[in-house]
Amino acid sequence: ADGEELDPEAQEVLVQVVRYEGRRPILSRFLRLRGRLATLKPFEPGVELSRRITDQEKAARLLELSGKLELGNLGLRWRSRAVQAGEEELRAEVERLKREWDELLNRFSSAEGPAKLAPGRAVADVELPRRAKERLDSLRASVCPTIPGHHVLKACGGELANAVEMAEKLLAQGMAEEQVRALFQEVLRREMPCEGSRLTVLHVKLDGTVIKLGEAEVLRASDDLSELVLVRMIRGRGLYDGLGTRREPGDLAVSLTGLGSMRLVTSYLGADGTYKGTYVNLNTPVEVCPSCIRYVDLEVDVCLMPDGSYKVLDEEELRKAVEEGTISAELADVVMKEVESVIRDIEEGRVGPPGPDVLKALGLEEPEETG
């Protein structure tokens, strides 16, 4: 850190940036030099094959060649495309990686840290929200059998991802589409959340940071999951962001959202049912998986106070995201139109304190009106 005094005995070490968490680089001392056909692993001796190399004969050929390459204590991992290359090309790739490692060591020995010894690769994580995945579904369907919701459901992983693959294999084998869809709907009914399920709320920031808002119980769920009512117990103390009302252990956070919704509408209640305000988060269309809901926060929020007043937060953050190229101007326009819709719903009473049915499900009585 700036201004920090280093131990005179401290050693300079060679590290590699392997990824970023938000804007913070994550470093590793286990360097990897990646080529088109192979990856050199200087501090991890041994030879590995990509899991995608399933042809035993081709795998044996690569392992046999590895023994002739004079790797010493260097490790090597053959990439899947190595099976398509000839021996001369494979040898040339490994020799190039070894030279690259030698050059890196020479630069390290003469450099004074901290110093960049080699440029990284330009890699971008692209977040594909639900509507983009739906477009990919249609493109995929134009060339091969594709279950509706393919990309969203595959991203859920687990049994659901396996079920997608199985259903599409059945379609490819000629099973009637109506029959496959009926079978797949049974899987969805079994795997997807229903009343009483517990879900983790994954709140993804524009910089890629994933915030777990905690585990919520599904209080109510429509058959198509377009309407979800979730409840979380508050454990910490403080003030609710944007609302300024007191946050106390035992409070309840009641969230209304649903599959494809651009809102997460969370109302906060005291243990006795006292209304503490509503926070409306604007986000990419919500994706629902068996164990979580997930969305990307689009910066702007709307807060409804207990006295009925409201305010819009962080419009400048949305504009900044557009200027930086993180999101498009078109998406920002969609967000602001949704903000206008939220405000109309507040003014017309569609967004506000939870209704009597929700309070009853929570075991709370609707507070009596005073005055």
pLDDT band of residue 4 (cuts 50, 70, 90) is very low
Structure confidence at residue 2 (pLDDT):
37
Rounded distance, CA 99 to CA 105, Å? 10
Whole-prediction pTM value? 0.72
CA torsion sign, 351 to 355 to 357 to 359?
positive
Write the CA distances from 325 to 301, 321, 356, integer angstroms. Answer: 20, 6, 44
Write the CA distances from 328 to 10, 35, 175, 322, 324, integer angstroms. Answer: 46, 34, 42, 6, 9
Q: What is the per-residue pLDDT across 68-95, written as a single tens digit (0 to 9) for each?
A: 998 999 999 999 999 999 999 999 999 9
Q: Helix or strand or coil: residue 184?
A: helix
Rounded to a whole number, what is the largest CA-CA distance in the chain?
90
Instruction: Say yes or no: domain 16-110 is CATH 3.40.50.
Output: no
Query: Torsion-angle region of residue 135: left (phi > 0), alpha (psi -120 to 50) or beta?
Result: alpha
Q: What is the mean pLDDT of residues 153-181?
A: 93
pLDDT band of residue 113 (cuts 50, 70, 90) is confident
Question: Quick one: tokens of 27?
Answer: 């470093």
Tell me what percent of the residues of the chain surpass a pLDDT of 90: 76
Distance of CA 141 to the CA centre of its chain: 24
Q: What is the mean pLDDT of residues 233-245?
A: 93
Rounded distance, CA 227 to CA 194, Å? 11
pLDDT band of residue 10 (cuts 50, 70, 90) is low
Rounded distance, CA 108 to CA 115, Å? 9
pLDDT exceeds 50 at position 205: yes
Structure confidence at residue 312 (pLDDT):
97
Domain ranges of the chain: 16-110, 130-191, 198-361
Structure confidence at residue 22 (pLDDT):
64
pLDDT exceeds 80 at position 57: yes
Q: What is the per-residue pLDDT across 122-163, written as a single tens digit (0 to 9) for each?
A: 777 778 888 899 999 999 999 999 999 999 999 998 899 999
Structure confidence at residue 125 (pLDDT):
72
pLDDT band of residue 12 (cuts 50, 70, 90) is confident
Structure confidence at residue 204 (pLDDT):
93
CATH, range 198-361: 2.40.380.10
Q: What is the per-residue pLDDT across 338-348, written as a single tens digit (0 to 9) for each?
A: 999 999 999 99
pLDDT exceeds 90 at position 297: yes
Query: Torsion-angle region of residue 361: left (phi > 0), alpha (psi -120 to 50) or beta?
Result: alpha
